[in-house]
Structure 1
Amino acid sequence: MDTPAWPIEHEDRWLLNYRGLLITKISIDYRLTLLLGADVEVVVECPARISHGPLSNPKNPSTAVVPERQDVAAALSLFGAKVLSAVAFKSGGLRMVFDTGLHLNCPADPSCEAWQATGPGQWKIVSRPGGDLSVWRGEHHPSSDQAAQHTERLTTTTQARPNLTEK
């Protein structure tokens, strides 16, 4: 079974299908920008943490990453790393796990957009202030409700047209 290239929605999270993509570029201004492959971008704008292993284990060391102060040295070790998993939680957090054992954890921020992920294609997911996600699906991957509405419109339009080939 093939895995779709676009994110997969679950009750409490979106699975971002970035598995296998390499971090090919890291940019720093007031944000930390990670380019994955050629067309996926993850931008961190608020404090985050880089850890060796999950943050839930207090024995795993972690380092703060604060893009607005360009305090992102710990993130430079992500260059060339391969993504093993990327999860956008509907509470606004982002967790990425890499083949190097490093984890990037970006919590939601109460007053600004903590992070955003763009791609593949026209997909965009943004962590909204206060926690929550905004998701733009792109025109090529409609939601199931949108697809059903479109199908219904086509059926209704087709049934309403007279058949011009009949005499």
Structure 2
Amino acid sequence: MSTEESPVEREDRWVLNLRGMSVTKITVDFRLMLFLDSDWEVAFDASVDLSYGTAHANPSVLLSPESQGVAGALALFGANVVSAVAFKSGTLRLVFDNGHHLTCSPDPSFEAWQVTGPRRWHFASLPGGDLAVWTGSGASES
């Protein structure tokens, strides 16, 4: 589990404090949801690239929540987060200890993904490619 108490803002990204948290539940309806330890949730409303290892050795698989084409996400069940970064450009990148990577780019028309956690942390990819961040003290656009 992460030793940092809160996400950390950098110049071009937010480093989320999800390191060491495991995927405890996966659900699918019109979106793909990953539930992590400590009440963190990651929701994907847009297509997500799932890759394994290096891009040169293994091509990525496109997970499509809107058509429920997300079977590849089952490989994440029980995996621990190694890195979680929300870029201010609206892209989310998660890296797992089993070698899998998830990357979700912003969508031009709707919020592509959201990450919510305890103490009212909420990150969302805004339509067109910005990042919104809410904390217990309110919202800001990065």
Do these two structures clear the TM 0.5 threshold for a shared fold by scoring above it?
Answer: yes
CA distance in 1, matches of 2:48, 2:113: 9
Task: Kindly report structure 1 stretches of 4+ aligned residues shifted beyond 6 Å.
Answer: none
SS in 2 for 1:76: helix
Q: Percent identity?
A: 56
2:52 maps to a residue whose letter is: H
Matched ranges for 1:3-152 at <5 A: 3-54=3-54, 57-139=55-137
Shift of 1:11: 0.6
User: Is the Cα–Cα contact under 8 Å of residues 6 and 120 in structure 1 kept in the other structure?
Assistant: no
Shift of 1:3: 4.2
In structure 1, the gaps of 5 or more residues are: 144-167
User: Is the Cα–Cα contact under 8 Å of residues 5 and 120 in structure 1 kept in the other structure?
Assistant: no
SS in 1 for 2:27: strand
Shift of 1:24: 0.2
In structure 2, the gaps of 5 or more residues are: none
Between the two proteins, the alignment pairs up a number of residues equal to 139
SS in 1 for 2:119: coil
1:104 maps to a residue whose letter is: L
TM-score (norm 1): 0.78
Higher strand share: 2
CA distance in 1, matches of 2:16, 2:121: 10
TM-score (norm 2): 0.91
Aligned Cα root-mean-square deviation (Å): 1.9
Higher helix share: 1
Shift of 1:59: 3.1
